[in-house]
Structure 1
Amino acid sequence: MLKKEVVPAEGCTEPIAVAYAVSLAAELVQEEITSIKLLLSGNIIKNAMGVGIPGTGQTGLPIAAALGAVIQRSYKKLEILSGMSPEELAQANSMIERKLLEVELKETPEKLYIEAIVRGKNHTAAAIIAKEHTQVASLAKDGVQLELPQGTVNCGESEESGPEAYAVSLDGIFDFVQSVDYNSLRFLLDGAVMNKAISDEGLRGDYGLQVGKKMSQQSAVNLFGGDVANKVIAATAAASDARMDGSAMPVMTTAGSGNQGIACTLPVIALAELMGKNEEQLARALALSNLITVHIKHYIGRLSPLCGSGIAGGVGANSGIIYLMGGSLDQIKHGIQNTIASLSGMICDGAKSTCALKISTATNAAIQAATLAMNNISPTVNDGVIFEEVEETIQNMERLVQEGLAATDTTILNIMLSKGTGI
């Protein structure tokens, strides 16, 4: 699960997944492109409207889709934009100027759905990605279905579909983290280096709202001190500042999201450094934070009206923090209850610069929740959405999304579109 869910990406995963889908279709056309039509679920549109696209200085779907058509390196998947040349960017901008792109909202129950239809003078090709950012559901050329590329899974054949196939538990995750051979976790340290690098870049540069940078600077207008908590929060927010503003540096994602990867790993990375922990302790803490983030995401959904980076990433970070502090499994469970009690209502209004604000809030909540948990303090069954068993609390997040927030995504998207900023 870790090797499947913890993978690198360059740029926000929703518009980059669109670029990947367009690239798959464009490679089949093999001639000059005359039009690109995108049919997208509301969540894809919501998460692609306001985010910076690496190496372009631009935001949103048009440039991401056009680059997918020009670059045509689908084998790179979520790193498709890495190594992009100035000539390719110029070609993509030319496609936008010629108004070759059309975007429509697709009425579909799938939260993550991308259908790219690419036309040339003689051929038409279509690629559909659904459920996961690199999961190809369909490829067709001139109306004929084609064999899917190696390494992709047809949505109808996903082995993880259906509740009976999912048997992960917090107890099982903790046992795994404690007992697994350290060498099999060393790949997580590569992600730590990657995410630390973009955090350092965010602290240096003037990206986005500069949440992390301004929190870390000592000045008369900064009410934050230089204590451990604020160093951890600033380091985490800075990575999101850079990523959302279009930094070309790669990020190690978790459960399909770079911001989730940032949110669940950087608090752990920063704290491990401040506490002088060794690489094995860091790797095991990262395994815990990543797996618990994935566990939460299983219930709230791959894309959701709830902020996955804040809630799932915050819960994951909290667990990793407690692990580094020497906490027990019971204290980790206390921490999860505390964090969910604090963050359960945080909505997702798309990928954009203010994600850094949500992530900084979630990191602060994770630290606060860890402090309480290490003192064996936890909410009770009398407190709101909290159940006596932490697994029940987590599982009922799915009910909150499906029953309580069923119309939330549509409302958020309509509010965003009402501003007239377009896609």
Structure 2
Amino acid sequence: MIGLPIAVSLGALIGKPEYQLEVLKDLTPDNLEQGKQYIKDADINIKLKQGDVDKLYIEIICHAGEDQATAIISGSHTHFVYVERNGEVVLDKRGGTVGDEADDDIQLNFPMVYEFATTAPLDEISFILKTRDYNMKAAELSIKGNYGHCLGKTMDRPLSHGIFGDNIFSHIISRTASACDARMGGAMIPVMSNSGSGNQGICATNPVVVYALENENTEEEMIRALMLSHLTAIYIKQSLGKLSALCGCVVASTGSSCGITYLMGGDYTRICNSVKNMIANLTGMICDGAKPSCALKISSGVSTALLSALLSMEGKCVTSAEGIVDDDV
């Protein structure tokens, strides 16, 4: 079951605020049935907020007997700006902005991203392998089940191998799409996110890992490529904001293209060129919500990531004379 009513229902029944973005991680099949019944029994009304509000805005008003509570999230997925209980204001930060609390955040630039990913002490960045452990496991478990549109499994079948080949290209699409299939298909499988998005985490991780394994790169090279991929995605998201009308797979695939270019032996210039090739290709793909068909967009993203990396390694790059591409990434 998908949609806002079941999310509201389960949050009210079993949600634990201390889990934050994992608020429903203790969900059981019995809880799900209780949630479905709650939708039938409770009065849940959902509508679009009118007026001038942040593009990421959630307001909820709950009634229980004579009690009433209101909570508002704005600007960021866990940023509460207003809480009221039975007419008593517990929290009110509606006059400020999320940025007021994030003045100390580091504003990234691409040279900074590249230098950190390629030179930082290995023991300080090896934690990034947790993204590999979580997101590749999601892909493996997905192949064993039937989730979403089964795009990942389809890419692993003989017909697909006859068209695309049984090679790094098809394996990257399969392992990335299958993890997305599982996540969007409701599998109880955790994934590691990037910039608050599980699909972006998958897209920034699995293509890099599959390429590194099949290209027989060292573990250090994999670590640095993963760090480069994830930091590139975070760097781009700083310009787009935490919620955007643009599909996040474009951002994350650009990161994975940089990581793959690094694994191919590409230097800073070639990695920059991969970014330009990606921006020239996929920019403008809209986000129309989280759903099983996200696996299709992810497959478009990661296949483009490979093409962009290959072009870059051949010294080919979309220039600033073409479309929206700029010389400075």
Instruction: Normalising by structure 2, report the TM-score.
Output: 0.93
CA distance in 2, matches of 1:226, 1:80: 39
CA distance in 2, matches of 1:143, 1:182: 53
Q: 1:343 to 1:163 in 2, by over 3 A?
A: farther
Q: 1:159 to 1:221 in 2, by over 3 A?
A: closer
Q: Is the CA contact 1:307–1:347 (under 8 Å) kept in the aligned structure 2? A: yes
Partner of 2:134: 194
Alignment partner of 1:70 out of 13, 16, 20? 13
Deviation of the 1:146 alpha carbon = 1.9
Deviation of the 1:87 alpha carbon = 4.1
Q: 1:306 to 1:222 in 2, by over 3 A?
A: farther
Which residues of 2 match residues 58-207 of structure 1 at below 5 A? 58-107=1-50, 108-147=52-91, 156=96, 158-159=98-99, 167-207=107-147
Helix, strand or coil: the match of 2:238? helix
CA distance in 2, matches of 1:305, 1:139: 28
Partner of 2:282: 343
CA distance in 2, matches of 1:370, 1:154: 44
Indicate yes or no: 2:175 matched with 1:235.
yes
Indicate yes or no: 2:216 matched with 1:280.
no
Helix, strand or coil: the match of 1:124? strand
Name the % identity: 36
CA distance in 2, matches of 1:245, 1:62: 17
Deviation of the 1:387 alpha carbon = 1.4
Note the residue ranges of structure 2 that are not aligned, 5 or more in a row: none
Cα distance per residue 1:335-382 (max 9 Å; x no partner): 000011010121111111110000000100000000011112111111
Q: Which gives a bigger RCO, structure 1 or 2 (Cα 8 Å, sep 6+)?
A: 1
CA distance in 1, matches of 2:293, 2:198: 15
CA distance in 2, matches of 1:203, 1:85: 22
CA distance in 1, matches of 2:181, 2:144: 11
Cα distance per residue 1:299-332 (max 9 Å; x no partner): 22322221112x1011111111111122111111
Note the residue ranges of structure 1 that are not aligned, 5 or more in a row: 1-57, 391-423
Q: Which amino acid aligns with 2:47?
A: E
Deviation of the 1:238 alpha carbon = 0.8
Partner of 1:314: 253
Task: Tell me the matched-pair count.
Answer: 328
Deviation of the 1:226 alpha carbon = 0.7
Q: Is the CA contact 1:71–1:88 (under 8 Å) kept in the aligned structure 2? A: yes
Cα distance per residue 1:26-85 (max 9 Å; x no partner): xxxxxxxxxxxxxxxxxxxxxxxxxxxxxxxx1111111100000131111122222223
CA distance in 1, matches of 2:67, 2:147: 42
Alignment partner of 1:266 out of 188, 195, 206? 206
Q: 1:267 to 1:221 in 2, by over 3 A?
A: closer
Helix, strand or coil: the match of 1:266? helix
Q: Which amino acid aligns with 1:84?
A: L
Over the aligned positions, Cα root-mean-square deviation in angstroms equals 2.3
Deviation of the 1:162 alpha carbon = 9.2
CA distance in 2, matches of 1:379, 1:161: 38
CA distance in 2, matches of 1:88, 1:259: 25
Q: Which amino acid aligns with 1:187?
A: F
